[in-house]
Every structure is written in C-alpha cells, then in structure tokens.
Structure 1
C-alpha cells in the first residue's frame, strides 16, 4: 500500500493540491507497457492458466435497475467530502504549505465542491438577487456579508455576469481578499469562472487549491469506496466483453486480471470526478435474470468476495452526447456562457451573450434534446450535463473559445 493510499481520505483520493500542480491523468506509452508487463507476470504467477472458466460474451446486457444503480454507484455524500476537505486544509496549514485567511478551491464542473462547502457547517454567503448592483451599494453589501464568523462562498461563479454592470461584486471581493480585508473563509470557484478572472485580473494571487485528478488507481479506489457503504459488501465489477475485472480495487499479490477500463475512463473524464461518475453509471449492466428483487442472492455466486456483482460495458460501446452541427456562432456563445457562470436562466443568457431570446430558446431546446443541457427545478437555470461536458469542452476548444485549464 502506498503512502498516499494509507494517508488519504477515501472520498477524496489524492487530497487537495496546488492549482499549478494539476495535470491530466497519465496516458503514456510507458504506462501501457507497464500494464501489459504486469498482466504477463500475473499470468506467469498463475501458471499460464486462463480465467476460472471460459468467458461468455455478455454484450447487450440490460442497464442496472434504478435501485441497484443507487447502491452500486451512489452519488457522493457532500458531508463526507466537506469533512475530507477540512482535513486536507488542516494538514496543509499544519505543514506550513497553506496559510491563507481565505482558501480558494478551484475545480472543474461537477467536482462536488459547491455541495461540500454548503455542507461544511460554516455560514454560507449567497449572491444577491440583483447581480447588476450599483457600484455605490456593493461595498456596503460585502461589509454586511463578511462581518462576523467564518464564512463560505460555495460557488463564486454565481456572483457575477459578464456584462459591464455585472462585474462589480467580484472586483470588490477580490480587492478585499488581496488586502486581507475579507475575514476568514473558503471560496469554491468553477474552473471556467477562474480562467476568466485570472486573465481579467492578472495580478490576482491567492494561492488556489484544487482536488487532485482521478488517475486510474484513484478512480478505482473511489468507485469502490462509493459502493462500499450501500452495496452490502465489496462490489465486484467485470467487463462484459472479456470478463476482466474493474472492481474490487487491486491488492498486492492479487492474481485477478484487470481491465484497462479505469485508465480509459480517467482519461475520457480528464480526471474529473463528476464526469467519471456519470459515465460509470452509464456503463453498469446486469444479467437479465439478475436484475430482479431476487437477483441479489443469485449474483453473489459470481463475486470472489461473496458480495454483490455487476458488469461493465466497454467505453467504446457507449453513445455519449455530442454537440449538434451548426454553422452559426450562437451554440458556442451559449455553451461557453453556461460554463462561465455555472448555469444561467434564458434571460441572463440574453444579457451576457447579446443574442435574441428566440435564438437562445431554439438553441437551448436543441441542447436539451441532445442531453447536453438540463434545466434546474428551482430558479430555472440551464446547465451543462456531466455526460455532455466532455463533448462541450472539446467543441468550445476546437472553435477557439478560452477553455479552463482542466
């Protein structure tokens, strides 16, 4: 067991790292060769014997039932992530590597930071109803919000609009942080919002932190951890096409043959927790005869740990959302604005893009049909979906939009 594995909180593999230390998961040829060599050595140790039995192809299996999906791949708990973040911050402060009064946590969308900060137990500062607040009122508003006990801003992207009258709140906030006049708190910030503001204010230096990217090893341990509290035992997951294992997490001396699925998923998701989790849910499958209320008893026969088991479809068999073809610039403007502001209403989209409302409505409807965008139930804001995010990011980058660093 590595020192990282031994010391880390299982719901936050890799912990928090400095923003400039973040990099996409390794996909080098050397790692592929090491993986192949490890497989060969495992075969030699096993006496060159095949798997326990000839594997029957299990392509075209049905998706897991909603109940099993909730047990085998549950949504991460915001409270647990909040506790892990606090532990990491305390450790960094104790080690002398983080001594800021205001801690900035910058992360790509769907990383769970916003929910964790809301569950931190600290006083959460919410944005005002009017993001186009007059300059004369902004200072007094922040005086009131920052006074008193420690605070958190769950998502900084919610406090501004890319409009000549919509940037005052954050300009004042950053000025106060720079002058150590904001008290003690934590700030969550979307990587897209951060990318804009570090270019707009190049002298902004706040030593931001971020969650470590999910490499294949970290991803495997994280997925196993998520299932451990709800699945009723260690979850065993094997590929439908060749029977190689994905879960449980490999242990030293283990003779099971493991798939490269976790490595490929980490690469596809660019180390993004929320995106990887959404794709993982899409890949899970069950035998038709197992996907019943009585199936839980039967499925344990396939599990080496006498726990629940399921199957995993290869990533190349998935049909993930794609951005519809378009000759205009409207789709890019809308998608970029949604990521820049962590979601917007149709009225706010008109304000920040300058596009007519009818064009925005048509584009949003098209994005919703393509599963790229969803609309919230409360304020009606539109947001990019985790499954659609990889395609949206690639689309924006290919068309020259400034993308985040993740």
Structure 2
C-alpha cells in the first residue's frame, strides 16, 4: 500500500494525508478473510445464506447506548478536517512548480470530504482569518439546462474570489439535459477561466465523468486509505475527543487487545487482535465505513447503577464507573449482523443503487428521471432497500442515500451485476 512519506506527521483527523488518486491502493486483506467474504458472497447469490447469518457472541454483552457510542466512537470533527485539508492543499500548492488554480478532491462516500468542504469558510487557511475570501458555491434548484443557460449560470457565480464546491455530484443529473453545468465548469477550469477554487467530488460521480470526458486532466488528490495502523490511530483519536482519556477495546471471544495500539500496557506485553486489519480491508480503507462497522461491533458491560448491578459505596461506584467508561468490547466481524442485499430478479434495485451513488443521494422525483423506473416499481424498490438497511432517507433533505453499513455489499453487488463501479 502506498502512504505519504510523512504519514506519521499528518494531523490525526487526516491520517496518511492526501495522496494522488493514482497512488491509492486498497489495504491488504488476509487470505483467510478474503476466502470467507468470497464464500459468503457466493452463498448469497445462490440464495443459500439467510437474512440473519450472524450469531450471538458467547459473552452476550449488550449493545452500546447512544451515549456510550458517542463516548467511545463519536463522529469526526469535520471542522478540524476542513482545516487539515486546507493546510494540505496550501502546502501542495506552495511546493508545486506549477500549482493548479483549482484543486480537485475525489473521495469515496462517507470519507467526510463533503462535510469538511461545507465548513470551508470557517477553516483557518494558511494562518489567515477563518473563511478569508472563500465562498461556497451551491447548485441551482433546476439542474436541467442547455449549454447557454449553464454558461449564464456560471457567469453569475463569484468565481473572481476563492470558492469551494463541497460536492460536484449535486450539480448534475444523468439525463440528456442534466449534464451542461458540469461540462461548462470543466471547460472553464481547462481554459483557466474558473479562478481559484476547491472541488470535492464523489468517487462514483468522478467515475462517470472521467469516462464521459476521457481527456480531463485535473490531477485529483484523495485522502490516503486507512490501513490497520492508520485506522487504529484514527479510531483512538476519535475516542479522545473533548479531552477524554484513551479507550481500551478488547475482543469478546478471546480478550485480545484492539485499542490502544501500544505493544505494552501497564508494563506487560499484550496479545493483539487482527480485527483492525480485517476492518480496514472490509471497509476498503474507507474511514467512514470502518467507523460505522466499528460502532455496531462495540459492546459494553452494564454500567454501575444499571439493573442487576451489585450495590457499592458511592465512592467505589463512581471510581469503577469512570474506569469502566473507557473500556469496551468488540465482537468479531464474523458475528456481526450487517445489511444483506435483498434478492430480486429485477434490475430496478441495481439502477436505483447506482443512481444514488452517482449523485450522492436523490429524491424520488430525480430517481424517476434518471432511472426511468415507474413510480410503482421505484416505491417498491426503495421500500425493500430501506427495510434491509441498505438505504435511508434524510429527514432534512428528503433524499435517499446508501447507508455506510450497506455500502460494502452495495458496491460488491453492483460490480457483480455489471454496473461500472468507482476506483475505491
């Protein structure tokens, strides 16, 4: 796997830093894990795997409460990620003999790039004032335009000052009249008429456009893939948010340590689990997917004061509670119940999932437009996928998205069904 030479000096919220897209490689996977995943996928295709192939761990530890989950594995700080990306982009521009006016960041879903770029005006860029001179360009409500309308729309944008587009997938629809905005933007970037900007782009959106316009020469960068060591450091960093002490995570079935990454704990050498290696491979180095799986795999012993806890003095109870609050358990990935793709003889499920990934989420109206599926078929497909936890609808935007937990099986099935997939 290729990592940046100064991986150890990268900010903890961006482990591995940014790498040229062509240097991205999937983390190594153990032969044992690869064979097990491949066999399970074949069984699913042959209808020989049940919808609930997971089994309860022998320890039967309870799932985490929402409060515990936020304590052990909180969501990333996207504002900090925005600052890290800003510093890295400015550093790359300063070190380049011929810096590009528009920097392109291509990343797989759930990488956090979109969320970070949306906070770009608040990022402290190169030591300057937060948001100094930068503006976020939002897409128009109507994406169906001809070439003249697209050119007029871009003329009205403030491209004379530094700008940022959090997600390019929001600017198009896979429809004859839905391509003009991005075509015009790429034309202006190639001609040097787009000013200085930052473009975030989903890897699935990029896969479409780099094939639609093969001569694109934008030299995209991407967050480095998380191998086992980078993933472990990142998960530990997340657990230490708000100045909390490091978390200790051990496997439920054999007690081996997952976190911390230290070779010795309390002066004694510890036996380490291979879970981080398998988690990095299962998620294909995608931090957001790995975090979703990690959060589902975490277990905790009942806290003091919960039903069934033995009575203790208040001081002893508080002391044990504080100690226990930083220790959790992890069930093996084999015992984890993850979303399973519903069986269907119709290709409508594949068309829906592929469209959602190409556009980083769509509502029903847009899905009908880009897939050509009837409202009845679409409603049925969305309902089945939602029940299987493959997709979910945003209460804020009303758009459907593939879930982080459902993404690994979605990508794998789309590839099996013959759909073009991203490079990540």
TM-score w.r.t. length of structure 1: 0.88
Q: CA 1:343–1:405 in structure 2 vs 1: closer, same or farther (change >3 Å)?
A: same
The equivalent residue for 2:320 is 298
Which of residues 10, 13, 22 is equivalent to 1:11?
13
Structure 1 gaps of 5+ residues are 33-56
The equivalent residue for 1:271 is 285
The equivalent residue for 2:415 is 397
Query: Cα offset for 1:230?
Result: 3.8
Preserved CA contact (<8 Å) 1:150 1:183 = yes
Preserved CA contact (<8 Å) 1:296 1:308 = no
The equivalent residue for 1:165 is 177
What is the DSSP-based 3-state SS (H/G/I as helix, E as strand, rest coil) of the residue aligned with 1:311? strand
The equivalent residue for 1:378 is 396
Query: Cα offset for 1:363?
Result: 0.5
* Counterparts of residues 273-292 of structure 1 (less than 5 Å): 273-289=287-303, 292=306
Structure 2 gaps of 5+ residues are 35-56, 122-133, 308-313
Preserved CA contact (<8 Å) 2:30 2:278 = no
The equivalent residue for 2:244 is 232
Q: CA 1:125–1:292 in structure 2 vs 1: closer, same or farther (change >3 Å)?
A: farther
Query: Cα offset for 1:4?
Result: 3.6
The equivalent residue for 2:198 is 186
* Counterparts of residues 192-203 of structure 1 (less than 5 Å): 192-203=204-215
The equivalent residue for 2:106 is 106
Query: Cα offset for 1:292?
Result: 4.6
The equivalent residue for 2:273 is 259
Query: Cα offset for 1:143?
Result: 1.4
Preserved CA contact (<8 Å) 1:92 1:98 = no
Preserved CA contact (<8 Å) 2:7 2:17 = no
Between 1:170-179 and 1:91-100, the stretch displaced more is 91-100
Count of matched residue positions in the alignment of Structure 1 and Structure 2:
376
The equivalent residue for 2:340 is 322
Query: Cα offset for 1:123?
Result: 1.0
CA distance in 1, matches of 2:356, 2:27: 26
| CA deviations over 1:378-401 (Å, ceiling 9, x no partner) | 331100000000010011000110
Which of residues 119, 142, 147 is equivalent to 1:130?
142
The equivalent residue for 2:42 is none
CA distance in 1, matches of 2:419, 2:97: 34
What is the DSSP-based 3-state SS (H/G/I as helix, E as strand, rest coil) of the residue aligned with 1:196? helix
TM-score w.r.t. length of structure 2: 0.84
Preserved CA contact (<8 Å) 1:14 1:213 = yes
Preserved CA contact (<8 Å) 2:106 2:201 = yes
The equivalent residue for 2:310 is none
The equivalent residue for 1:364 is 382
Query: Cα offset for 1:120?
Result: 1.2
| CA deviations over 1:31-64 (Å, ceiling 9, x no partner) | x9xxxxxxxxxxxxxxxxxxxxxxxx86220011
| CA deviations over 1:294-336 (Å, ceiling 9, x no partner) | 977425557xxxx711111111111100110001111001100
CA distance in 2, matches of 1:338, 1:81: 25
Query: Cα offset for 1:175?
Result: 0.6
Query: Cα offset for 1:211?
Result: 0.4
The equivalent residue for 1:52 is none
The equivalent residue for 1:36 is none
Q: CA 1:98–1:331 in structure 2 vs 1: closer, same or farther (change >3 Å)?
A: farther
Preserved CA contact (<8 Å) 2:341 2:385 = yes
Query: Cα offset for 1:3?
Result: 6.8
What is the DSSP-based 3-state SS (H/G/I as helix, E as strand, rest coil) of the residue aligned with 2:200? strand
The equivalent residue for 1:140 is 152
Query: Cα offset for 1:125?
Result: 0.6
Q: CA 1:177–1:351 in structure 2 vs 1: closer, same or farther (change >3 Å)?
A: same
CA distance in 2, matches of 1:256, 1:196: 47
